[in-house]
Chains A and B, each alone.
Chain A
Amino acid sequence: MEIIKTENLTFDYIRRDEDGNVEGITTAVDDVSLKVKPGEFIAILGHNGSGKSTLAKHINAILFPTEGTVFVDGMNTRDDEKIWEIRSTAGMVFQNPDNQIIGQVVEEDVGFGPENMGVPTKEIWERVEESLKAVGMYEFRKKSPNRLSGGQKQRVSIAGVLAMHPKCIVLDEPTAMLDPIGRREVIRAVTALNDVEKITVILITHNMDETIGANRIIVMDKGKIAMEGTPREIFSRVEELKALRLDVPQVTNCAHELRKRGLKIPEGILTDKELVEALKHVNFG
């Protein structure tokens, strides 16, 4: 069974004037049918306003479909009785770590979620410990979150979600505010959760290089799924991506330009290692 399934999901934002009359309707998600298998690592790309975040908020039952249905681990998000179970099955991490951290001490912040769910005290402490260890923040457990760097705070936010024992984590641009090392730390932590803990990951990002490790990339445009495939398949379509206001990793772009200038190297080169190999082949072949 799929961990996430959307069937013909459509969501309209309705704007109203002061008297409550409808002024306009914006269809943010338009007839999207998506299936995510347990343990998959999915990256969602798309320009600002393409519907990525609106789609993501349906997985966590923050928003509900105008039309269509969303299932999380078999539960319909429309089912009021399941809403807390859905939110602990699919946890969500947002862009700004400062808006997500509430505790005065790191371990207290991470324990908030399970405490709120009514988990027994002893088990809360076990969960806090394992979650902080999973994101490499255990040694900071007694610190004040205010004293942490952006990347560290964001890893604490992820630990807070982990402590609720989700099967799936949705991350909405978790690295947008971070410096290069903070970005690396967060992506490494997320990749490890997927590899080791087998947690399903849905990562929304504007940093193309963060998506190379995904099993599948979904590109959204005007509320619809515009492209879908492995990173190599997606990043082989450089011109299409640019038309959708997106980009490719710099190395991929470089290889694409070299091809245009006549070098016989394949499309969809994702890493500098692959570029070296491809160029060696040109040299001696």
Chain B
Amino acid sequence: MSILVNHLTYKYNPGTPMESVALNDVSFEIGDGEFIGLIGHTGSGKSTLVQHLNGILKPTEGSVYYNGRDVFDGDYDLKELRSHVGLVFQYPEHQLFESDVFKDVCFGPLNLGLSKKEAELRAYKALKLVGIEDDFFYQSPFDLSGGQKRRVAIAGVLAMEPDVLVLDEPTAGLDPRGRDDLLDSLKTVQAETGCTVVLVSHSMEDVARYADRILVMNNGTIVYDDKPVSVFRHYDKLKEMGLGVPEITGAMYRLRAAGFNVSTDVITVDDAVNEIMAAMGHA
């Protein structure tokens, strides 16, 4: 058990006329090594929730436990928590600042108090994991393409070797290949380091392909917490929440309504192809 969120409520501006409840009695557990997709419409509370996971926001009520310890207990070292739980914000490339790529990635581990050598070793590993070639190491991060900058920024968090990696919409603005490359490298990082990944996304297609488990947020509460296939069975409810199902799942519903004997428990194109071939008698 790595993270336990227990009856967490968060209010912005509590006790003022501007008070608004962003999270309302949220409870869940994240196990080691899971790949979690966190979805919900804008304003549903996703970003507020992830900022509790590494102690940026403090619950109004309830608690967050990391490996069994209450992180908002007075004597818990939040700096240490942040070395275990790495948070990649939206548009992390806006936070690049060093004169070259390699220095930028070294900044995090150096800040943790590691030796220069250890920091450089980690930076090298992290840049390799996200697929940045040596040629780019000594270039200014500002001369890279959007997708490369994004990956350098993520490497900066990876170099701190967190046990939990939380990413808030990491693929926004990337081209389709850049998106696939980034998500594939997250899957590789998870497999090679055994870390837990929490992916906040607006793309139903992406979470369907990569997540082992999906949390769906609506109006500050978690409404579904299940395997992707099971979550996407709630077609109508998800639409009401401003979300939806992957495009291909929608197509399977339409085929079924038109009389084809296909399952609607399909969330990826590969599965859809197999399912349709079987239904057409070409198994």
Q: Which positions in A face B, CB cutoff 8 Å?
A: 15, 46-50, 95, 149-151, 173, 176-183, 206, 208-209, 242, 245-247, 249-251, 253-254, 257-258, 261-263, 272-273, 275-276, 279-280, 282-283
A208 contacts B176, C-beta separation under 8 Å: yes
Indicate whether B114 reaches chain A with its CB closer than 8 angstroms.
no
Whether A275 lies near B251 (C-beta < 8 A) is yes
Interface 9-mer from B3-11, B102-110, B166-174, B191-199: B166-174
> B277 at the A/B interface (Cβ < 8 Å)?
yes
Pick the contact of B248 from A250, A263, A279 — CB < 8 Å? A250
Task: Name the B residues within 8 Å of A206 (CB-CB).
Answer: 173-176, 179
Q: Is B280 an interface residue (CB 8 A)?
A: yes
- With both beta carbons as reference points, the residue of chain B lying nearest to A280 in the complex is identified as B258
Q: A149-B42, A180-B244, A209-B247 are in contact. Are A283 and B280 (CB under 8 A)?
A: yes
Known contacts A15-B143, A250-B247, A279-B280: does B41 contact A179 (CB below 8 Å)?
yes
Bitwise, B242-264 to A at CB < 8 A (1) or not (0) is 11101110110011001010000
Stretch of B58-66, B127-135, B268-276 lying at the A interface: B268-276
**B277 closest partner in A (C-beta):** A261
Among residues of B, the one whose C-beta sits closest to the C-beta of A26 is B143
Cα distance, A176 to B174, chains bound together (Å) = 9
Residues of chain B contacted by A263 (CB below 8 angstroms): 276-277, 280, 282
Verify A250–B269 contact, CB threshold 8 A. yes
CB <8 Å contact, B272 and A254 = yes
- Can you list 20 A-B pairs with a CB-CB distance of less than 8 A? A47-B177, A48-B147, A48-B175, A49-B147, A177-B172, A177-B173, A181-B41, A182-B42, A206-B175, A247-B176, A247-B177, A249-B247, A254-B276, A258-B276, A261-B277, A263-B282, A272-B251, A279-B280, A282-B280, A283-B280
Q: Which residues of B contact A258 (CB under 8 A)?
A: 273, 276-277
Set of chain A residues within 8 Å of B42, measured between Cβ atoms: 149-151, 178-179, 182
For B176, B204, B244, B246, the residue with the greatest tally of chain A CB atoms inside 10 Å of its CB is: B176
Assess the B269–A275 pair: CB atoms within 8 A: no
B55 is an interface residue with CB less than 8 A from chain A: no
Contacts A49-B145, A151-B42, A283-B280 given; indicate if A178 touches B202 (C-beta within 8 A). yes
Least distance between A13 CB and chain B CB atoms (Å): 10
Proximity bits, B138-179, A CB within 8 Å = 1, else 0: 000001011100000000000000000000010011111111
- Asked if B255 and A275 make an inter-chain contact with CB atoms under 8 angstroms apart, the answer reads yes
Cα–Cα, bound, A178→B42 (Å):
7
- With A254-B272, A279-B260, A283-B280 known as contacts, the answer to whether A246 contacts B202 (CB < 8 A) is no
Q: A149-B41, A262-B282 are in contact. Are A250 and B246 (CB under 8 A)?
A: yes
